[in-house]
Chains A and B, each alone.
Chain A
Amino acid sequence: MIRRFPGGGWALRLVIFLGPIVALLAASPQGRTPPTWLVVVVGIFSFAFAVMPEHYVGNGALAIVVAWWTVEMEDGLPLSSIAAAAALLAAHLAGTLASYGPARLAPDAGAVLLWARRGVLVWTIAPLTWLVVDAEAGRATSASYWVIGLAAGLAMAVLATALYPSSGDRRM
């Protein structure tokens, strides 16, 4: 299957494979180097994600990286988290483009450009969030995070309920 990737397909798979690993290693400048076994695990998940971009294994690669960062960064909010967010987003977008069709599908230049523009726009949320959190760093408490998170979770649940296909839709 790997041999069938067209030229642009290889580039997408490379981004998918490297994205989670780069995001994991982005904490190294802060002296938080991930253990080798974790890099290997993420590499395996990333490889599977690159080969099967439509498969749920991609969730594992990204989720492990997010979990490790959250557990590891007990105090402070390093600037490299923005770079890590960019790497994760790049892997996700490359996975989205690659999952448009079978392995033989050459990426469409128009779609790549569209998603690159969207990616840059969406990524700006990460530094904005970092700025807001950093500005509030001295005053925020755990309770306030709970409230903000709960509100966000509720909003997502409402959106999902309203927009996901319901059983009534399926009968149509």
Chain B
Amino acid sequence: MTEWRASGALARALLVSGVGLALALVLGRPVAVVLVAPLVVMGAAGLLNKPRERPLVLPGTTYPVLHEGQGTTSRLEIEPADETEFVTRVAAQAEHVALRPVSGVLGHLVDRPRPLHISPRRWGQRRIGEEKVALFSRWAGYRWGPVAFVGREVSVLPTAAAYHATAAAPQPIGLIGAHRSGREGDGTEFSSVRAYHSGDRMRRINWRVSLRTGSLHVVSTRSEEDTALLLIVDALADYGVSQGVDGDESSLDIAMRATTAIAQQYIRQGDRVSLRVVGPGAEHVGYGSGTRHLRRILGQMAHTRPGLPHDVEVEHIDFRTVAGTMVVVLSPMLSDGMATLAVRLLRRGLPVIVVDTLPDDAAPSVSTETDPEIASLAWRMRLIERRHVLERLAAAGCPIVAWHGPRTLEEVVRRLALRAQLPRAGVR
């Protein structure tokens, strides 16, 4: 660590004082004494207030986990504080981290602290609180630092607008839950009026129908069950420009915020949700429900980085789905592997929804050596291929929707639920 050193102000006061006094002595002219007298006092005050102890500076931020757009303050504890008069802090500018003051430079008297506000603007792992700190003694005679502090890594979780969906899941097969089941049971949703069977409850008897028909009839209801939801996030690449929570969104931004919204919604209504990120980190969270599980999912999402998986081909990833699981694939669908993966799940009889996360203004980032016209042509060809893939997926029975906010899935899920109730013809 550094130590207290004479400041430039002290050196200036002493040097100019010395020059003035020396000239006054040599030439015998008192005018120099009048000119430098205040500087002599300044220099003496600076010297007399030399700190005796090496300071202990402890910077810190309040929260280890933040949501994008949330803010925290970076505080500074100084021991002993009575020998220090002024603090200068220069916070490092980091990508997708907003500071207030915007310049990240802050100076204040020790006894009148001013907070340094930090707000991560995009999900992910962000380093905040990285700064340089300098202290000045009383009368600015001595300076300590600047000393660099590395800050800390915080998980910035994606945010999503909360909403409450009303559409039931297509194939709920759990034990208890909020979705209308295909089976009859103890629920509230009317199913039919049928003849009384042994074991039916007395309170289910419909007396009006029973009197009219002359035999006992009961009202049957559908049971209510929970569902399993698998969220597959395509992190093979990030298309478009990300400007944080209140700016333009990249494909991965859309995917993360959409995943958050869907996970929040289904976990809130008691369903089991699983997450699988197709990317280099292969972030995975098994099926579960509850607030703690939601935090685990969001925490894993904050670690996501775009890139190709290291250990497995996209087409061969095993998602360990069970019957009745609803699958939501969030992808810009610019990878053949993701399309293959969706078709594979579809062929297993699972309801699969593709949420198209490609931003409207997405364009590839090309190197300066590449001819822009060729890059533009290649991109247009890629988009045509993508359109064909999406058309084939839709023809195979996989709904594709562009993400337009938390209610995007509602209509699609409702249609899937209706389709699941239709009688099916088996093919042998």
A69 to B4, CA, bound (A): 35
The A contact surface, by secondary structure, is: helix
- Interface window among B21-29, B336-344, B358-366: B21-29
| B56 interface contact, C-beta 8 A | no
List B137-183 residues whose CB lies under 8 Å from chain A.
Answer: 139-140
Q: Is the CB of A85 within 8 A of B37?
A: yes
A1 at the binding interface (Cβ < 8 Å): no
Task: Tell me which residues across on chain A come within 8 A of B39, comparing CB atoms.
Answer: 62, 88-89, 92
Contacts of A101 in B (CB 8 A): 88, 90, 105, 107, 134
Do A63 and B34 touch (CB < 8 A)? no
Taking CB as reference atom, which chain B residue is nearest A23? Answer: B35
**Residue-wise interface mask of A (4-40) relative to B, using a CB-CB cutoff of 8 A (1 in contact, 0 not):** 0010000000000000000100000000000000000
Known interface pairs A92-B9, A111-B109. Does A70 touch B24 (Cβ–Cβ under 8 Å)? yes
List chain B residues, Cβ under 8 A from A95: 8-9, 12
A111 engages B107 (CB within 8 Å): yes
Within the complex, what minimum Cβ distance (angstroms) separates A67 from chain B?
Answer: 6
Contact yes or no, B32 A66, CB < 8 A? yes
Taking a contact as CB atoms under 8 Å apart, the answer to whether A108 and B105 are in contact is no
A110 to B113, CA, bound (A): 10
Q: How far is the CA of A146 from the CA of B22 in the complex (A)?
A: 10
Shortest C-beta distance, A79 to chain B (Å), equals 10
Docked-complex contact A126 and B38, CB < 8 angstroms: yes
Chain B residues within 8 Å of A165, by CB: 3-6, 50
Roughly how many angstroms separate A92 CA and B329 CA in the complex, as a whole number? Answer: 66
B50 and A92 within 8 A (CB): no
| Size of interface on B: residues with Cβ below 8 Å to A | 62
In the complex, what residue of chain A is closest to B146 when comparing beta carbons? A101
Interface residue count on the A side (C-beta < 8 Å): 68
In the complex, the answer to whether A102 meets B16 with C-beta atoms within 8 Å is: no
Q: How far is the CA of A77 from the CA of B43 in the complex (A)?
A: 24
**Most A Cβ at <10 Å: residue of B13, B25, B35, B139:** B35
Complex contacts, A71 vs chain B, CB 8 Å: 23, 27
Whether the Cβ atoms of B41 and A106 lie closer than 8 Å is no
- By beta carbon, the residue of chain A nearest B17 is A156
Could you tell me if A149 and B109 are in contact, using CB atoms closer than 8 angstroms? no
**Complex Cα gap A23–B45 (Å):** 23
Contact: B16 with A66, CB < 8 Å?
yes
Q: How far is the CB of A166 from chain B (nearest CB, A)?
A: 11
Q: Are the CB atoms of A99 and B7 closer together than 8 Å?
A: yes
A170 to chain B, nearest CB (A): 6
Measured between alpha carbons, how far is A126 from B45 in the docked complex, in Å?
Answer: 16
Say if the beta carbon of B103 comes within 8 Å of chain A.
yes
Q: Are B41 and A125 in contact (CB under 8 A)?
A: yes
Interchain CB contact under 8 A, B24 and A149: yes
Cα-based distance from A114 to B110 in the complex (angstroms) = 12
A96 touches B33 (CB 8 A): no
B8 touches A54 (CB 8 A): yes
Please determine whether A114 and B109 come into contact, CB atoms closer than 8 angstroms. Answer: yes
Contact (Cβ within 8 A) A100 B86 = yes
A149 to B107, CA, bound (A): 38
Q: Scoring A residues 143 to 172 as 1 if CB is less than 8 Å from chain B, else 0, what string do you get?
A: 001100110110010011001110001101
Once the chains bind, are B38 and A125 in contact (CB under 8 Å)? yes
A63 touches B15 (CB 8 A): yes
Q: 19 more A-B contacts (CB under 8 A) besides A56-B11, A88-B16, A129-B37?
A: A62-B16, A66-B16, A66-B20, A70-B23, A70-B32, A74-B29, A82-B34, A84-B35, A89-B42, A99-B9, A101-B105, A106-B103, A128-B37, A133-B30, A145-B25, A149-B24, A164-B6, A165-B5, A169-B3
